């Protein structure tokens, strides 16, 4: 006859962890079926209440903040709650967390601005967006873009070249459209060519071009479009030749009575255009584009570090041309997608060292503002990076300064790395910060000791701010082993 094993406690009805004299009983799923055994037929749901931390802490001391957003690219952990924080401008826009995909990154050198941007670039590519680094000045992004299987275009004398008047994918879309749509897009191409040419002339001259010169440039571009249609893209050299030649249609629009009067009207413009072809910018923007952007690449980086040694003017010109060509590519692909000739996709455009392009000459802010204002309609997130708002406040005219402040004001997400108190006062005028938020960001701005080898207190720490009413999210980013090498910007120093 088989023997039955009694439980260690006769009051217990349930299994045990293990056999033996010291076996510990396990409670049944619904509790012990004895008096005071906790028996329950089902477990009821507990009512949930929401209250401010000021009120709830007296009723229940174990309160916590609401969870940070978990949609988008993982950035790091909330410094207060330890929860994972995710951020991606396009994903946040689709989720209704923000109203536009603009992101403005601000912080002292060495606090990890580029590391933050590289993380969201990597995430954007992983989610299927195409990342475009619109002017890598150091370069910081080339290794990462190559690692992601993207295209790196290196601009400089003896390297790759960008034609400021190249329509790029917009020109390809133009050739495939019906008459009505083609005419509308042709005006868009004309506007882009004229705007960039005026910006480059403004940069060289260090003052705005006149209304008469704008009319002459517009007539010249129209004439070249008719002459070269279906053959090749016009260049700055072509523009110079036509202006010097002075065809009847151009002279008529210049309102010149004879050849001598025309030469007098275009004299300064000719010298400006000649400087674009033979001066400090020669060999970079005076010929056809040598390496068009790859529309199918997961990411594109335009490395302009080689032109930095030639002076600020050449670097600014490279940034302006890169911005125009990159945004034109986005518009061109969108036009082809409307025709079913290309797949529709989203983009992330990174504009690093923003201040270097804006301070080149009065009026350049207006050109950058026009390029970036309609990013939401293009399905493109823009990430602007700079060290200080003081860089923008140093622009020549109040009109330029006001438009530059608009870059920050229009960005739905402001990312603050370590900043000193004085800088935070400027930020607070555009993006309101609470006292604790300012104190936290200021504490990241400088080391608190002179001990060599101490980690900078602000390295990898960011405050994500999305409007005046929402409290910012303080985040600590940690890197994987691969990221430590791909995101490293201090290799040259070491």
Please check whether residue 387 is in contact with residue 107, taking contact to mean a CB–CB distance below 8 angstroms: yes
If asked whether residues 335 and 360 sit together in one domain, one would say no
**Domain around 188:** 168-298+316-345
CATH at 404: 3.40.50.300
If asked whether residues 209 and 244 sit together in one domain, one would say yes
* Mean pLDDT, residues 222-249 taken together: 91
pLDDT digits (tens, 9 = 90+) for 177-195: 777 778 888 888 898 899 8
If asked whether residues 5 and 81 sit together in one domain, one would say no
Tokens 């036009």 correspond to 335
Q: Is residue 134 part of a domain?
A: no
pLDDT score of 217: 95
Indicate the pLDDT class of residue 493, thresholds 50, 70 and 90: low
Considering its fold, how many domains does the chain have in total? Answer: 3
Q: Is residue 238 part of a domain?
A: yes
Q: Is residue 156 part of a domain?
A: no
Choice between 478 and 7, residue whose per-residue pLDDT is larger: 478
pLDDT score of 369: 77
pLDDT score of 9: 45
Choice between 452 and 298, residue whose per-residue pLDDT is larger: 298
* Mean pLDDT, residues 132-145 taken together: 90
CA 487 to chain centre: 16
If asked whether residues 420 and 437 sit together in one domain, one would say yes
Q: Is residue 395 part of a domain?
A: yes
pLDDT score of 470: 84
pLDDT score of 150: 96
If asked whether residues 213 and 335 sit together in one domain, one would say yes
Tokens 């950058």 correspond to 368
471 has a pLDDT exceeding 70: yes
* Mean pLDDT, residues 123-130 taken together: 94
Instruction: Convert 344-356 to b/e letters by CB count within 10 Å (16 or more is b).
Output: ebbbbbbbbbbbb
Q: What is the mean pLDDT of the chain?
A: 83
* Mean pLDDT, residues 220-228 taken together: 92
pLDDT digits (tens, 9 = 90+) for 25-45: 677 767 777 777 776 666 677
pLDDT score of 372: 67
pLDDT score of 145: 95
If asked whether residues 321 and 351 sit together in one domain, one would say no
Report the distance separating Cα 396 and Cα 386, nearest Å.
18
pLDDT score of 454: 65
Q: Is residue 140 part of a domain?
A: no
393 has a pLDDT exceeding 80: no
If asked whether residues 433 and 475 sit together in one domain, one would say yes
pLDDT score of 429: 86
If asked whether residues 91 and 173 sit together in one domain, one would say no
Q: Is residue 66 part of a domain?
A: no
pLDDT digits (tens, 9 = 90+) for 326-349: 888 888 888 888 877 778 889 999
Which among 335, 320, 327, 432 has a CA at the least distance from the CA of 373? Answer: 327
If asked whether residues 28 and 118 sit together in one domain, one would say no
494 has a pLDDT exceeding 60: no
If asked whether residues 340 and 353 sit together in one domain, one would say no
pLDDT score of 11: 42
If asked whether residues 373 and 445 sit together in one domain, one would say yes
If asked whether residues 218 and 357 sit together in one domain, one would say no
Between helix 211-228 and helix 259-278 the angle, nearest 10°, is: 80
Q: Is residue 56 part of a domain?
A: no
Can you give the pTM of this predicted structure?
A: 0.80
């Amino acid at each position: 006859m088989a023997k039955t094993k009694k439980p260690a406690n006769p009051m217990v009805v349930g299994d045990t962890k293990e056999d033996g004299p010291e076996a510990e009983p396990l409670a049944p799923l619904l509790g012990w079926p004895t008096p005071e055994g906790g028996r329950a037929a089902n477990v009821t749901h507990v009512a949930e209440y929401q209250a401010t931390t000021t009120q709830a802490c007296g009723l229940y001391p174990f309160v916590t903040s609401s969870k940070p957003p978990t949609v988008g690219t993982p950035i790091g952990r909330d410094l207060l709650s330890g929860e994972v924080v995710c951020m991606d401008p396009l994903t946040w826009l689709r989720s209704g967390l923000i109203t536009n995909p603009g992101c403005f990154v601000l912080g002292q050198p060495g606090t990890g601005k580029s590391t933050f941007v590289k993380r969201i670039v990597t995430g954007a590519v992983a989610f299927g967006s195409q990342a475009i680094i619109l002017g890598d000045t150091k370069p910081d992004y080339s290794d990462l873009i190559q690692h992601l299987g993207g295209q790196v275009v290196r601009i400089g004398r003896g390297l790759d070249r960008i034609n400021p008047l190249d329509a790029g994918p917009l020109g390809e879309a133009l050739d495939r459209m019906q008459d009505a749509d083609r005419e509308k897009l042709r005006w868009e191409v004309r506007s882009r060519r004229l705007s960039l040419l005026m910006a480059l002339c403004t940069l060289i001259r260090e003052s705005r071009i006149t209304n008469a010169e704008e009319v002459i440039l517009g007539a010249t571009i129209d004439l070249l479009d008719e002459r070269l249609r279906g053959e090749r893209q016009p260049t700055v050299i072509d523009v110079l030749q036509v202006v010097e030649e002075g065809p009847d249609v151009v002279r008529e629009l210049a309102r010149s009575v004879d050849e001598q009067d025309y030469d007098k009207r275009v004299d300064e413009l000719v010298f400006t255009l000649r400087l674009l072809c033979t001066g400090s910018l020669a060999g970079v923007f005076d010929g056809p584009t040598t390496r068009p952007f790859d529309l199918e690449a997961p990411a594109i980086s335009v490395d302009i570090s080689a032109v930095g040694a030639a002076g600020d003017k050449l670097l600014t010109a490279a940034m302006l041309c890169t911005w125009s060509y990159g945004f034109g590519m986005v518009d061109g692909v969108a036009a082809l997608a409307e025709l079913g000739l290309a797949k529709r996709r989203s983009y992330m455009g990174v504009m690093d060292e923003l201040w270097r392009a804006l301070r080149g000459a009065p009026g350049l802010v207006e050109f950058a503002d026009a390029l970036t204002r309609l990013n939401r309609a293009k399905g493109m997130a823009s990430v602007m990076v700079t060290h200080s708002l003081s860089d923008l406040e140093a622009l020549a005219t109040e009109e330029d300064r006001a438009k530059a402040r608009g870059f920050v004001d229009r960005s739905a997400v402001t990312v603050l790395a370590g900043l000193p108190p004085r800088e935070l006062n400027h930020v607070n005028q555009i993006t309101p910060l609470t006292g604790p938020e300012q104190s936290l960001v200021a504490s990241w701005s400088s080391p608190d000791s002179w001990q060599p080898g101490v980690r900078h207190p602000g390295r990898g720490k960011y405050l994500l701010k999305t409007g005046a009413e929402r409290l910012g999210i303080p985040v600590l980013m940690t890197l994987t082993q691969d990221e430590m090498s791909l995101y490293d910007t201090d290799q040259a120093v070491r």
